[in-house]
């Protein structure tokens, strides 16, 4: 890779793009194209601080996030694989994986990555749905009868950030995330409901899970609640996110080996604009809309 060249761009793959938004949020940047190798390193450290914390590994807390909720996304990662029973060993293995990918992320080669299109050296690990969500077909149906898709180290590292863009629709509900060209919206969600949420739980030594404590009904209710909480908690200068001309697609999914599933929910940009205008005109009216139409009383 040429020094100073743009390392990362959105790809059109919803999982990868959500991962890139979470990576951008971790690096505290506003655009994925600004990420350089130093940002990648600092974001990876931030990722380790959460996923390798005692709270995530299940040490001193009720249950392991990595073996529980996270395994719905990466059912066979180093953090989940039952062959690595000892959490300390799992920690070392995962660190080794991240450091290896990080050191290879700047290399170039002859092969073209099927996800991002960048050149990389042949012979990288092949990935299937256990390492890249929903990358599955009719039994091992990958190009040239290969046992999986060979992706570049930078994509293999970036996809590790995907969980920080994921939410839960209700306490025991399904997992979901959004895909949109409104990148600032996606980054704002990963910042508040991914990173800040997980880091707060780690700091207070609580069991981790995806953010999903809104008392609402169904996945549609979760999408509207997300926008409501975002607009009421975000600083004034970021509110232009709600004037976006771009629609959003929310994806409800699980990558569980037995019951892999994905369902798109199209969200017209008029909904964002409506919420933005209502907030601007009358914060009382928006709060009332939330309370009376979205919230299920306990």
Side-chain half-sphere exposure of 221, counting CA atoms within 13 A? 19
Which ranges constitute the DSSP H helices of 70-206? 87-104, 153-158, 183-189, 197-203
Segment contacting Zn ion (CB under 5 A): 59-67, 150-158, 234-242, 249-257? 150-158
Nearer to Zn ion, 19 or 169 (CB): 19
Draw the binding track, 177-206, toward Zn ion (x: CB under 5 A; -: no contact): ------------------------------
Site size for Zn ion, by CB under 5 A?
5
- 229 contact partners, CB below 8 Å, separation of at least 6: 193, 214
Of the candidates 163, 210, 207, which has an alpha carbon nearest to the alpha carbon of residue 58? 207
Q: Is 156 in the site for Zn ion (CB under 5 A)?
A: no
Give the one residue of 80, 152, 223, 231 binding Zn ion; rule: CB under 5 A: 152
Segment contacting Zn ion (CB under 5 A): 153-161, 204-212, 259-267, 275-283? 153-161
Find the binding residues for Zn ion in span 92-121 (CB under 5 A). Answer: 113, 115-116
Q: Is 159 in the site for Zn ion (CB under 5 A)?
A: no
For residue 258, give the H/E element and its range: none
- Closest distance to Zn ion from the beta carbon of 8 (Å): 9
Helix (H, G, I), strand (E, B) or coil at 248: strand
- Closest distance to Zn ion from the beta carbon of 117 (Å): 7
Nearer to Zn ion, 155 or 250 (CB): 155
- 22 contact partners, CB below 8 Å, separation of at least 6: 161, 162, 163, 164, 165, 190, 194, 195
Nearer to Zn ion, 22 or 155 (CB): 155
Burial code (b: 16+ CB inside 10 Å, e: under 16) for 104-139 equals bbeeeeebebbbbebebeeebeebebbbbbbbbeee
Nearer to Zn ion, 101 or 267 (CB): 101
Give the one residue of 155, 157, 231, 286 binding Zn ion; rule: CB under 5 A: 155
- Closest distance to Zn ion from the beta carbon of 250 (Å): 25
- Applying CB under 5 A, the residues found at the interface with Zn ion are 113, 115-116, 152, 155
């Amino acid at each position: 890779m040429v020094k100073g060249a743009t390392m990362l761009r959105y790809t059109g793959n919803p999982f990868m793009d959500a991962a890139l938004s979470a990576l951008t949020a971790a690096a505290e940047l506003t655009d994925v194209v600004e990420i350089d190798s130093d940002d990648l390193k600092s974001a990876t450290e931030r990722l380790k601080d959460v996923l390798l914390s005692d709270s995530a590994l299940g040490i001193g807390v009720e249950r392991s996030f990595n073996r529980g909720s996270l395994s719905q996304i990466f059912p066979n990662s180093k953090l989940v694989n039952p062959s690595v029973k000892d959490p300390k060993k799992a920690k070392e293995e995962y660190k080794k994986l991240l450091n290896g990918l990080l050191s290879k992320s700047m290399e170039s080669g002859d092969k073209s990555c099927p996800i991002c299109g960048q050149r990389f050296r042949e012979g990288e690990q092949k990935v299937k749905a256990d390492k890249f969500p929903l990358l599955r077909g009719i039994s091992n149906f990958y190009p040239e009868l290969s046992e999986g898709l060979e992706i570049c180290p930078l994509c293999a590292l970036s996809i590790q950030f995907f969980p920080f863009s994921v939410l839960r629709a209700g306490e025991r509900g399904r997992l979901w995330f959004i895909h949109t060209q409104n990148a600032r919206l996606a980054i704002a969600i990963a910042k508040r409901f991914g990173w800040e949420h997980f880091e707060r739980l780690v700091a207070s030594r609580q069991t981790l899970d995806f953010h999903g404590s809104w008392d609402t009904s169904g996945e549609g209710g979760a999408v509207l609640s997300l926008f409501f909480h975002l607009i009421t908690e975000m600083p004034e200068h970021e509110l232009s996110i709600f004037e976006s001309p771009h629609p959003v697609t929310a994806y409800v999914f699980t990558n569980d080996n037995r019951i892999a599933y994905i369902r798109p929910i199209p969200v017209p940009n008029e909904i964002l604009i409506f919420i933005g205008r209502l907030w601007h005109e009358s914060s009382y009216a928006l709060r009332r809309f939330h309370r009376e139409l979205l919230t299920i009383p306990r």
